[in-house]
Structure 1
Amino acid sequence: MRGTQDIQTVGIVGGGIIGLSWASLFSAFGFQTHVYDPNPMVSADIGPFVRDAWAIMAELELGTVSDPELPRFSSDLASLNIVDFVQENGPDRIEIKQQTIQSLEQVVRPDVIIASSTSSLLASDIQRGARHAERILVAHPMNPPHMVPMVELVAGKLTAPEIIDRAEALYQRIERVTVRVKKEVVGHLANRLTSALYREAVHIAAEGIADVEDIDRAISYGPGMRWALMGPHLTYHLGGGKGGYRHYLDHLGATQEARWQEHGTPELTEAVKNMLVAGVDRELESQDEATLVKRRDAALAQVFKVKKTWGF
């Protein structure tokens, strides 16, 4: 089994937002990066996207090379026959994932790790039908991967333990914060947490408790500010004062349970979807989406700096 330091060339499957973000990140750390996408039009997106990403990463002092090489593009999957590692970012449908893996295995060496960015699918399902299932795992980032450092690693039933170790070492080489998920579940870890909050956000809007705009405002100016620094357990530990988390759970745990019982289970009917979209449209009335993305990325960069400065 080759070591992590032997990985010098990375293949990116899928040239969407996630794939190009990964490509920007790997290339900034000196990896020769190859992007495959069946759509040849993706080639025109690489330069503008990657250069913008590099500019942000330079501000964050991320990367190891001063003059990175632009990722190379091909619409021919055979172009990945030289890579040492694959980050797969195709559509999140199991039949497409399995087909992609089977096609990749016709091209890449048997020792090449294949890591899927899937947001919900199980590694064990993706492995089904693979010739070398032991080298397949889930490595799910948050969007955009070059700015949000978390990567959650999930092994499938057939994933070799050393594959998880090697993948983790590689992601740490590109300064990602790795989280190991112990059991396979739909949505892994981060997306299950965000989905729980989103379900209640939809319920509150659907029940007329608050408007979409106020729900977003409540999160971004309330708990979201704390969550940018620490997770819920540590947040509630500090909320327990001198008694810490135990004091909080003993004295306020019952109020949490009472709220859990009240949480809703909304359905995304057409009426609910229309109401949610209308709320977001109102939030965008004073700015266009492209400007919002730039503002988000600039703000994320500042949050990244704050966390790095203060050790959060």
Structure 2
Amino acid sequence: MQHPSTHPAIRRVAIVGAGTIGASWAALFLAHGLEVVVSDPAPDAEPLTRERVRAAWPVLAELGRVAASANPDALRFEPDLEAALKNADFVQENAPEREDFKTALFARMDAALPAHAIVASSSSGLIMSRLQSGCARPERFVIGHPFNPPHLIPLVEVVGGKQTSEETIERAIAFYRELGKYPIRLNKEVPGHIANRLQAAVWREAIHLAAENVASVADIDAAVSQGPGLRWALFGPHMTFNLGGGAGGLGHFMDHLLGPVQTWWDDLGAPEVTPELRQRLIAGVNAEACGRSIAELAAARDADLTALLKTLRR
């Protein structure tokens, strides 16, 4: 994969931190014929990662994302971090979401990596300017936040810290695009980036509605999945309301409906998740699952995502 820079092509990818996200990234990188090494100190990390990669492979093949030379068994596992990073061109980091832990980890990775390597963090909400603060080469660190599962969901949020170079951001975006991802660039750092903030806003109101007993947990979920969620798979909120304005577009929509929407904003809740409310939400999703396990729900989600992605691609 060549990039418009003097740096070598990205061929060797190190994944630091396995788990669900790391294994999903591994499957995607392997499917594109890249050399992939995973490093995670957990004793069961290797068998779990290999199992998850094998489970993701049929879906990737169905979507036409598996290169002719790709092999899911080509994954290399290296518990020793420094050994895993020795020849890496690109690192996708998925360590625990703790600022102090990642800051120390980044400094350690920085010392072990070749000079040309990029480090992208899957952090779902931490600020890169803080994470890169202990690094000798902070310019090569960037956020590359995926949506779960990364081997299926196209979105990657890319944002640099105060010391991240423009070249690093551009190289990371180009690399993700070549993997078939849909990278978006954030112009400034905000906790939670963009998509998680939007999710959090919707979830906060969903919790408020449940707390106020406006509807059951299942019906509140259905209000999204059977309504606006279907439109959101095609367009975001701005474009959705642009269409809602008819021939006049968003301007017409705002002229006629911004006032009522503003009254809804003013009435949105800020719930306190008490132990009782927490248990009610858990009981609600368990009832909604109708006895299906997490694994069964995830498999159904991935099958439907695959069908949706194939439809959208057409």
Q: TM-score range with shorter-chain normalisation?
A: over 0.9
Deviations 1:117-143, CA, capped at 9 Å, x for gaps: 000101101111111111111010000
Q: 2:98 & 2:51 partners in 1: Cα distance? A: 28
1:71 aligns with 2:39: no
Unaligned runs of 5+ in 1: none
User: What residue number does 1:51 align with?
Assistant: 54
- Structure 1 counterpart of 2:307, one-letter code: Q
**In structure 2, distance between residues paired with 1:238 and 1:264:** 27
Residues 1:137 and 2:155 are matched in the alignment: no
Aligned ranges for residues 165-176 of structure 1 at < 5 Å? 165-176=170-181
* Unaligned residue ranges in structure 2 (runs of 5+): none
Q: TM-score of the superposition, structure 1-length normalised?
A: 0.96
Task: Determine which of 284, 299, 302 is the counterpart of 1:297.
Answer: 302
1:90 aligns with 2:134: no
Moved more, 104-113 or 117-126: 104-113
Report Cα offsets for 1:221-267 as digits up to 9, x if no partner: 01001101111111111111111111001101111111000001111
Which amino acid in the other structure matches residue 146 of structure 2? Answer: P
CA contact (8 A) 1:116 1:138 kept: yes
Instruction: Report the 3-state secondary structure (helix = DSSP H, G, I; strand = E; otherwise coil) of the residue aligned with 2:193.
Output: coil
Structure 1 residue runs of 4+, over 4 Å off? 1-5
Deviations 1:66-114 (A, max 9, x none): 5425311111102221111100000111001111111112311122111
Question: Aligned to 2:201, which of 196, 200, 211?
Answer: 196
* TM-score, length of structure 2 as denominator length: 0.95
1:30 maps to what in 2? Answer: 33
1:20 aligns with 2:16: no
SS in 1 for 2:184: strand
Q: Aligned partners of 1:159, 1:288: CA distance in 2, in Å?
A: 42
- The aligned counterpart of 1:125 is 130
Letter in 1 for 2:207: V
Summarize deviations over 1:171-200 as a string: whole Å, max 9, x none.
011010010011100001111111110110
Q: How many residues align?
A: 309
| Counterpart Cα distance in 2 of 1:274 and 1:4 | 52
Q: 1:3 to 1:148 in 2, by over 3 A?
A: farther
The amino acid across from 2:250 in the alignment is Y
Partner of 2:211: 206
**Alignment partner for residue 115 of structure 1, among 109, 120, 126?**
120
